[in-house]
């Protein structure tokens, strides 16, 4: 907390020096053995990432280029750290503008996952498909990822998982018929909006949804939902 407080008044040179120091620390962590405490190391690095990601003053000066380095360590130590994949996709694809790196890290992590280990791992396939569709423009790869998400989600009988299976299958079908489907893209941006961890991401997602013909509507119960455009 003291470091974050100092960062608010630091000069651009100080921000850059801090970035260099953190990069060296991460490089050292990549090479340091964990002596059987891989999960603890992954959790510790995740806390470091959250401090890094949440420091808006510093990130405004130096950007988000270290994001991939945090997640390389996290997923090397604990590829089943499911929550980390959400931050990975958001910070690397949207903020660091490195979707290729985001997708590559998820592909590597998926080799250690299965439909039931950890539970509901199908979300990683959805994150990957979203990045492939929205940031790489690779509709064919995205279709395959959404098909895998549907396959893995179908293993579960709970309503949420069944809903994810149906939506993922539907998205894959739209992409098979029309790689430029606005309906599929709005659905993907809706997922980004639903999982947004900050206001900037929410604003970007809403603007993209509206540009594609989707609408934000408020239900009588006061719940905000996305109205999809006409199917294409």
- List, for residues 14-30, the tens digit of each pLDDT value: 888 888 999 999 999 88
Q: What pLDDT score does 7 carry? A: 46
The pLDDT of residue 227 is 83
Range 39-62 average pLDDT: 93
10 Å Cβ neighbour count for 115?
16
DSSP state of 116: T
**C-alpha–C-alpha distance, residues 186 and 184, integer Å:** 6
Q: What is the pTM assigned to this prediction?
A: 0.84
More confident site: 133 or 13:
133
Mean pLDDT of the chain: 90
Quick check: 103 pLDDT over 50? yes
What average pLDDT does the segment 3-11 reach? 55
Average pLDDT rounded to a whole number, residues 167-183: 93
96 Cβ contact list (under 8 Å, min separation 6) = 63, 64, 65, 67, 68
> Residue range 109-124: average pLDDT?
96
Q: What does the pLDDT read at residue 231?
A: 64
In angstroms and rounded to an integer, the radius of gyration of the C-alpha atoms of the chain is 19
Residues facing residue 218 across a β-bridge = 224
Residue 191's pLDDT band, with cuts at 50, 70 and 90, is confident
């Amino acid at each position: 907390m003291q470091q974050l407080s100092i960062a608010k008044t630091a000069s651009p040179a100080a921000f850059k020096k801090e970035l260099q120091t953190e990069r060296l620390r991460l490089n050292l962590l990549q090479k340091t053995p964990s002596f059987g405490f891989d999960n603890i190391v992954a959790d510790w690095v995740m806390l470091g990432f959250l401090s890094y990601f949440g420091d808006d003053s510093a990130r405004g000066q130096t950007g988000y280029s270290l994001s991939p380095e945090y997640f390389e360590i996290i997923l090397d130590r604990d590829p089943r750290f499911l929550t980390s994949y959400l931050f990975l996709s958001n910070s690397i694809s949207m903020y660091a503008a490195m979707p290729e790196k985001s997708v590559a890290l998820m592909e590597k992590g998926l080799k250690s996952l299965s439909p039931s280990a950890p539970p509901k791992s199908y979300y990683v396939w959805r994150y990957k498909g979203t990045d492939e569709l929205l940031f790489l423009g690779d509709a064919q790869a995205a279709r395959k990822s959404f098909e895998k998400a549907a396959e893995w989600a179908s293993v579960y009988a709970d309503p949420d998982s069944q809903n994810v299976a149906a939506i993922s299958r539907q998205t894959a079908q739209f992409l098979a018929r029309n790689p430029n489907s606005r309906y599929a893209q709005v659905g993907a941006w809706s997922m980004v909006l639903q999982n947004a961890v900050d206001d900037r991401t929410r604003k970007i997602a809403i603007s993209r949804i509206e540009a594609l013909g989707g609408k934000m509507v408020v239900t009588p119960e006061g719940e905000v939902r996305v109205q999809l455009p006409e199917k294409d």
